[in-house]
Amino acid sequence: MRSPVLLVIAHGSRDPRHAATVHALTRRVRSLRPGLRVETAFLDFNAPSVPQVLGRLAADRVRDVVALPLLLTRAFHAKADIPAVLRQAPPALRIRQAEVLGPSPLLLAAVERRLYEAGLTPADKSSTGLVLAAAGSTDPEAIAVIVQTARELRHTGWCAVRPAFASAPLPRTEDAVRSLRADGFARVAVAPYVIAPGRLPDRIAAGADAGGADVVADVLGPSPELARLLLGRYDEARTEQLLAATA
């Protein structure tokens, strides 16, 4: 039996770096699992759109699809936008929506990878204040996940981890940096908890600069941990799809 197609659904952005990063990530996913058909679609701003890709899959006589939201939390896009667009898919397609990426230990590992690439070492964890800077959401479930992720990072050895947000809730990145500095940390690092560049990640970087952060990591991007996580979510959804078909 043919494996379901993996359809990675990203938000999209006017910033061309966003789509380039998403495509780099899906290329890494393909390299980890040769033979798996991996498609990329965007909710907004970029092509191809989700309906365009679904139409092409139906034309290719694909039967089963795992639609994976390229999102770190279950906020509005995962709960409303993506299910709505998937309901408009050609009837020949059987689609299972996978879980969002977070929370996951692999995301914590990707955050630390970017911090080490920015110049920190594991030995710095016990003396560095860390800001986990997310895009933000009005969804309390999504905010709670970010706060819990910050706690989990703290449990890996960072002496202090504060969540911050580029939009919606407070505190902002610069506020969290200043708070850690006021608490006596000589070195403060900012880890953007976002997948790809764009307007909100730029706002995080500007906030880190305004607050006087010493280290600013890159976005998670096409990290190996993120690629492995995508395949893990795909496998979970595929298993659920198979169990549903045999029930």
- Rounded Cα gap, residues 166 and 170, in angstroms: 8
pLDDT at 47 over 90: yes
- Rounded Cα gap, residues 151 and 133, in angstroms: 13
For residue 190, the model assigns a pLDDT of: 98
For the chain, what percent of residues have pLDDT higher than 70?
99
The residues near 117 (Cβ < 8 Å, ≥ 6 apart) are 217, 218
pLDDT at 198 over 90: yes
pTM of the model: 0.95
For residue 206, the model assigns a pLDDT of: 98
Residue range 90-113: mean pLDDT, rounded = 97
pLDDT at 219 over 80: yes
Residue range 182-186: mean pLDDT, rounded = 96
For residue 69, the model assigns a pLDDT of: 98
Lowest mean pLDDT across 28-42, 105-119, 135-149 = 135-149
The residues near 84 (Cβ < 8 Å, ≥ 6 apart) are none
pLDDT at 244 over 90: no
For residue 2, the model assigns a pLDDT of: 87
